[in-house]
Amino acid sequence: MMLDKETILKAENAVDNALEHLNKGLEYLNKAYNWGIADIMGGLLIVSIAKHKKLSSAKAELDLARTHMNRLIKIMGSSRRSSEIRIPEKSFLTFSDIMIDNPISDIVAQNKIDECRTKVEETITKMELIQQKLHEQKLMYL
């Protein structure tokens, strides 16, 4: 589908912003993952709290990325919405990871973080592909 130049510029802006927040979110998830390793190895309550603080920051960044991805979808003329990337917060998992704080809850939490990292990495790859396609279309107008 060939887009007009104005639509391409708006879409590129949305993609750039989404990628910025996706990358920041991934960075926070990686830090949470590292804290999770320390938590599994017998980290104290402070380690669990630090891990969940990084998860909270990741959630904020991914929410912003989702906003820009939804904007992109709207610009492209679709009624679909982006909801693939989720970090459960204030769930039983979070409660058990901090309050019960045993190796099993730590490992379950670590697996959830790793699943989310994989989804974010896949989304970054998709967004970079969209960015490349938009750039190619923009070159046709030069």
Whether the CB-CB separation of 55 and 89 falls below 8 Å is answered with yes
120 confidence band (pLDDT: 50, 70, 90):
very high
Q: In the chain, how many domains are there?
A: 1
The domain in which residue 126 lies consists of 5-78+86-139
Span 62-74, pLDDT tens digits: 999 999 999 999 9
Cα(49)–Cα(98) distance, rounded to whole angstroms? 7
Q: What is the pTM of this model?
A: 0.86
